[in-house]
Amino acid sequence: MWSILFASLLTVLLMWVVYIVMGMVDKLVITPLRIKRIMNRQGVKGPSAYWVLGNILEMVKIRQAEANKDMKTGDYNIMSHVQPYEAQNCQAYGKMHMWWFGWQATIRIANLDLIKQVLAKDVFTMPQIQFKILSELIGKGLVTTKGEEWALHRQIVNPAFHQGKLKAMVPIMEKCASSMANEWEEKVKDGGGCVELEVSHYMANVTADIIAHTAFGSSYEKGRKVFEHQLSLFNFIFPKLKFFIIPGYRFLPTPLNIKILMTQIGISRSLNEIIQARKYMVNMTKNASNGNDLLGLMLTATSQKTQDVKGGKVHFGMQQLMDNCKTFFFAGYETTATLLTWTMMLLASHTTWQECARAEIIDVCGDGDHPFNADMLDKLKMLTMILNEALRLFPPIVNQVREVVMDVKLGDLDIPKGSTLSFPRLSIHHDPELWGTNAHEFKPERFANGVAKATKHPLAFMLFSFGPRFCVGQGFAMEEAKSILVVILRRFHFQLSSNYRHAPCLRGTLKPKYGVLVMLESL
């Protein structure tokens, strides 16, 4: 009897090993060879690659060599500096080519009509490596879910970003920005009327403050600490990105993985306490409203809500609530802080535009500490032009990717299952064929008649994506950026410091490697 049981267990074990081995052979050998054969047959080629490692070693070597250099101040043609490997491949193989991230084939698609085909349908998924990275950072929220689960998340999160709700958040944004400006005033006084200031640090802090207030309201202090832990989590995860291609690496009990796990547990515990405290307060006061902050609006939209779908139910409960709070912070904080930092650099470099924006702000919103509202922000046409141009030249997210889950035809191209499509946002934003010969120059006037007339293709300015998964926080980000800049421009004049080093780099988002140093004076 024992021998039969042992033989059965051994058979099951062998079958499991065979299954794993076959899966690895398919992933590492069969699928890559098939993709390469299909794409090469259609004339889409790229650099030769190492087995399993792909082009990673060469990519890292070239990027690190370029990262050690500074660019000339005022040079906004940053493609070959920020993405030198991709720029090199474009020169050698054309705008459409392929390279290998490990065993994962990446096909660069720069044709905007093909990109529109992909983004218009929610049938292409997030690549597994990107999914693993984001899942460790923000869990399974709006960004990382798909299908019916994503639809339910979107339905619940949407009300928080309704135009009416956003208008109510502007006074909070103004208050947070004014607090930062008060601190700047003290520094200017201490500096004798002029002070050198590194602004990226302040932009990060003020956007984090705004999101903590708008997400958690009266629980702002606790929410701010949660977000600080989330930033620590990002700093823990970032060094191990190169290991994500190794199957199962993130589950190994390494000191770094243990630190990441403990931070994740701490974040979830703190968020759970904030949510339970809000529920308790509502029950004790018998208040029908959960509040007008993001947390309250999501609590109102769902009480352990489920949605019937084919094959079962999609659930939105406590964990999903927490994951969307994390998503809201990371997506909103990082991108808006980066946008504001680059906008400050551009306005400090082009003081004529700074003066024009200031004059418009004073005309529409009044000077000094006069309160402003969302309707006033909507009238700031010149400031909108400046922000759009900053987003064009320095998009926080330089590439967008989608994984092909089934063989598909895009235009005349046959795209095989298992490949990843990469849409080069930075390259598209700097393409002279789309933006004219001054594509690498700071020219906000190109947006004078709106985004649609600024370029030769409606999708060339693809910052907030397109299709069903367009960025739900687009309106919030622009209201936040405008509010902060209104406060700054009404109270300060600034120009670029001679100590500023121009070195855009990729670290999650497109950032200035050494920050942005400006010389700040009160008006």
Residues 274-323: tens digit of each pLDDT = 888 877 777 776 665 677 777 777 777 665 455 544 445 566 777 787 88
Residue 347 has pLDDT above 90, yes or no: yes
Distances (CA, A) of 148 to 308, 309, 406: 9, 7, 19
* Per-residue H/E/C for 264-278: HHHHHHHHHHHHHHH
pLDDT digits 0-9 by tens, 332-344: 778 899 999 999 9
pLDDT digits 0-9 by tens, 216-271: 776 677 777 887 888 788 777 776 666 656 666 667 777 878 888 888 888 888 88
Mean pLDDT in residue range 406-427 = 91
Give yes or no for a contact between 256 and 239, defined as CB atoms under 8 angstroms apart: yes
Instruction: Name the residue among 395, 434, 67, 28 with its Cα closest to residue 247.
Output: 28
Residue 437 has pLDDT above 70, yes or no: yes
Q: Is the CA virtual torsion 16, 19, 24, 25 positive or negative?
A: positive
Mean pLDDT in residue range 157-185 = 88
**pLDDT-derived band of residue 449, with 50, 70 and 90 as boundaries?**
very high
**pLDDT-derived band of residue 502, with 50, 70 and 90 as boundaries?**
very high
Share of the chain above pLDDT 90, in %: 43
Higher pLDDT, residue 27 or 252: 27
Query: What pLDDT, on a 0 to 100 scale, did the predictor assign at position 4?
Result: 73
| Range with top average pLDDT, 101-110, 378-387, 417-426 | 378-387
CB contact burial 300-317 (16+ within 10 A = b; e otherwise): bbbeeeeeeeeeeebebe
Instruction: Name the residue among 388, 385, 391 with its Cα closest to residue 338.
Output: 391
Higher pLDDT, residue 194 or 125: 194
What pTM was estimated for this model as a whole?
0.89
> Tokens representing 520?
């700040």
Mean pLDDT in residue range 428-439 = 94
Q: Which of 230-234, 261-265, 383-387, 502-506 has the lowest mean pLDDT?
A: 230-234
* Strand-pair category, 305-309 with 312-316: antiparallel
Residue 373 has pLDDT above 90, yes or no: yes
Share of the chain above pLDDT 70, in %: 90
Query: What pLDDT, on a 0 to 100 scale, did the predictor assign at position 448?
Result: 93
Residue 185 has pLDDT above 80, yes or no: yes
Give yes or no for a contact between 102 and 130, defined as CB atoms under 8 angstroms apart: no
> Tokens representing 36?
């390469």
Query: What pLDDT, on a 0 to 100 scale, did the predictor assign at position 141?
Result: 79
Average pLDDT taken over every residue of the chain: 85
Q: Which of 78-87, 155-164, 494-503 has the lowest mean pLDDT?
A: 155-164
Higher pLDDT, residue 450 or 227: 450
Contacts 24+ apart (CB under 8 A), 172-175: 172/210, 172/213, 172/214, 173/210, 173/214, 173/479, 173/480, 173/483, 173/484, 174/371, 174/372, 174/483, 174/486, 174/487, 175/213
Residue 145 has pLDDT above 90, yes or no: no
